[in-house]
Amino acid sequence: MVYREVNMTEIKEILLRAAKEEFVRSISRTLSMHRDTINKYISISLDLGVDPTKDAITDELVEKIKSTVTTETKPLSIPRDDILLPHIERIEDYLEKGLKSSKILILLKRDGIEVGDSSFYRFVNSRCENYIRKNITVRLPETDPGHYSQADFGYMGLIWDEEAGRLRKTHALIITLCHSRHMYVYLTFAQDIRAVIEGFEAAWGYFEGISIIVIIDNLKPAIDKSDRYSPKINRQFLEYAQSRGFIVDPANSGHPKGKPIIERAVPYVRDNFFKGENFISIGDGRERAVDWCSNIAGLRVHGTTQKIPAQVFESVEKAALKPYTGERYDIPCWAVCKVHPDHHIRFKNSLYSLPTKYISKTLEVKGDSALVKIYFKGSLVKIHERMESGKRSTDFDDYPKELAPYTLRNPKYQISEGYRRANEIGAFIEEILTGPYPWHRLRSAQKILRLSDKYGADRMAKALTKAKAYSIYDMRRIENMLKNNVEDMLPDKEYQEQLKLDDPRFLRDCKSFNHYK
């Protein structure tokens, strides 16, 4: 016969009917209860000194009878317990090692210990205390308004990408306020740090405020290393959190019970919002997601709170959030760059200069839409304006002082340096650099300055005077004068006067150039 537990209401009804001197057979037929059971409860009442026909039937009496029966009832013998209890230590050891129940059943059957699958699962959930304790869930109290929010990424499906010209996988960044359960959904093709920050910015704009703490799942763009005790938060995301004034609290890896509010939101958004819809583009999907959050998800009766999220948000939580200015965050980009021998680093296909002492060193670079900041061992060493791709920003003060004039390509510097050495040198350089396009002779001027440093300003002045007299502007010929030490052999006065009248290149008769005599 199947065991049937009699509750306190039924016990009281038995005693009340017995007090009215109703026959046991009639009570049995009315309450669908065996006569022996009825006689047992009447007998226990008499043993406790209470006669149902004479004394009052109180709740205290019924409770005493119930407790007496409960303590006297012998536990039923369950066949699965008889089979498995002798092996409970072995089963608990398997569970401690992380074996699944299905695998434990296979190992037990190899040794001839056979029970049904359902019976074994019930045994584990009722007898293995360590396993039961491990799976206990404690429901935490409701959070204060505006204090907590939870965020997670979830795969939604495919949306047409106009730029790529193909269908692309689409994910949703879901942010839910824990007190009101009001949520925001941001669709994105990418799962990088830029998409995460853009999603949070859109969410704060939608809520018109920022929560104090954000419990975030271990998103790879935001959390570099997930760890129960010392997680490593991505540098860019940590800077963003500091600028917006909220605290990042990464959830434990592989522990969905640590973020239960957002855990069930992902399939809810996928099934209720995304599936079955045809989105024209990602922009269309984002607009419709905002409408869905406001008019469908926000106006439903939440299964846990039994309240309407949008109403709780407007009446209680919105005022408790930290204010949001609405000015969008300028998302920076970090990189590690090496300084090349030309004093420049390459960052986002643009070049930025650094002083000579940093050549061949590795530095950290942070760039936003306006500035590029360069750090060495944590210290800021250089700031440049952000340049377009393919452009460069060069600070000529970064070059050595002796090389800076050459990089500036400034004719005035070459002329002034020539006059500083000798008037003849300065006049010669000024002559060759005169004109609207002096750049093609700039190297000749630089060569003159180098030769004057090598052979001396006096010899160089004499060589240039002779070259000017013969209309020689070839730097190799001028250098040969100095090498051969012939800069002092100047033409006599009559020859100089003749040079003034005629072009020195045509002093000889034209027949001298006839090679076919």
Q: Tell me the pLDDT tens digit for each residue of 145-168.
A: 988 898 988 899 999 998 888 999
CB 320 within 8 A of CB 144: yes
The architecture in CATH of the region 148-320 reads 2-Layer Sandwich (3.30)
Least confident interval from 53-57, 166-170, 207-211, 252-256? 252-256
List for the chain the helix, strand, coil content (%; round to 5).
50, 15, 35
pLDDT confidence of residue 274: 92
- How far, in Å, are 360, 415, 442, 479 from residue 430 at the CA level? 39, 6, 11, 19
Q: Which of 458, 445, 443, 510 is nearest to 488 (CA)?
A: 458
CB 148 within 8 A of CB 179: yes
Is the predicted pLDDT of residue 462 greater than 80, yes or no? yes
* Burial class, 136, CB count within 10 angstroms (exposed 0-12 / middle 13-18 / buried 19+): exposed
pLDDT confidence of residue 18: 84
Q: For 69-78, how does the pLDDT look when each residue is reduced to its tens digit (9 = 90+)?
A: 765 445 555 6
CB 308 within 8 A of CB 299: yes
Q: Which of 35, 61, 59, 60 is nearest to 47 (CA)?
A: 61
DSSP bridge partners of 487: none
3-state secondary structure of 344: strand
Q: What is the mean pLDDT of the chain?
A: 83
CA 218/CA 67 separation, integer angstroms = 51
Is the predicted pLDDT of residue 432 greater than 80, yes or no? yes
The amino acid occupying position 135 is N
CA 42/CA 18 separation, integer angstroms = 8
Q: Where are the domains of the chain?
A: 8-72, 79-134, 148-320, 333-398, 409-511
| Structure tokens belonging to residue 171 | 């994910």
The long-range contacts involving 367-370, CB below 8 angstroms and separated by at least 24 positions, are 367/332, 367/333, 367/335, 368/330, 368/331, 368/332, 368/333, 369/330, 370/330
- Average pLDDT for 232-261: 80
Q: For 281-293, how does the pLDDT look when each residue is reduced to its tens digit (9 = 90+)?
A: 999 999 999 999 9
CA 490/CA 487 separation, integer angstroms = 7
Kindly give the pairing relationship between strand 344-347 and strand 232-233.
unpaired
CB 175 within 8 A of CB 161: no
Q: For 96-130, how does the pLDDT look when each residue is reduced to its tens digit (9 = 90+)?
A: 887 888 888 888 888 888 888 888 888 887 777 76
pLDDT confidence of residue 415: 83
pLDDT band at 1 (very low <50, low <70, confident <90, very high): very low
pLDDT band at 313 (very low <50, low <70, confident <90, very high): very high
